[in-house]
Amino acid sequence: MKIAIIDSGEPEKSKLNIIKSINVTESVQKDENGHSTAIYKILERYLNEEDEIINIKILNKDLKGSSFELLKALNLLKNEKVDIIGLSLGTTTYKHVYGMHKAINYLIKQNIVVVAAKNNSGKISFPAEFDKVIGVGNSMVDVNEKKCFIDYFNTNIYLNINEELDIENKKIELIGNSYLVPHIVGLTSKILKENSIKDLEELLYILETEKIEELSIENEIL
């Protein structure tokens, strides 16, 4: 499985097989704030050394990036032949939205699964709101402690997950939709390895009925 992660750079330490790193910012390639590092730590629970990762940095040390850099990253992936794209980020600006939509449509037509974080404040954000992109959030899970709710019509997944991550002997509480995305990317990878999927609806159905129980949550906060 070949997976692209668009985020804040390459972590200094990772068990994953990063075959290529691309930097579209003016900053250094490495992760400067720990965001990507946390994303990769979660992905390690689902992926193995046979899975190939393309790392693209668009966020700087302040977790800031532009819609142009996001568009550039998406266009770069047109020639990489990946299976899944994970974006623990998004933009609420409409600048470059047409270009992003065009790029996303092209990638989806290549049978690439795109998973993107919804905005933490509930604002419309891209690419999560685009058609056939799996948008991931945590605001619509019902109160009976159900782990997952799937909105098939809008291809959105809502997870009820709160956890802490141990990075360099420090406990970090993972707050925000960003940290839900790698769980869905990891489960999607497992589904694609085991099944011949005809469409996104089938993928979501298998995730909900078979794979959601394989969510790997460490140090869960109840």
Residues with a catalytic annotation lie at 7, 35, 178
Rounded CA gap, 31 and 14, in Å? 12
Q: Indicate the SS3 state at residue 218.
A: coil
β-bridge partners, 17: 52
Q: Give 119's DSSP letter.
A: P
Q: Is 125 exposed, middle or buried (0-12, 13-18, 19+ CB in 10 A)?
A: buried
Q: Beta 163-167 vs 17-23: how paired, if at all?
A: unpaired
Could you give the CA distance from residue 25 to residue 215 in angstroms, rounded to a whole number?
33
Distance CA 213, CA 22 (A): 34
Strands, E, within the chain: which ranges? Answer: 2-7, 17-23, 52-57, 84-87, 113-117, 134-137, 148-151, 156-159, 163-167, 170-174
Task: Compute how many other C-beta atoms are within 10 angstroms of the C-beta atom of residue 214.
Answer: 14
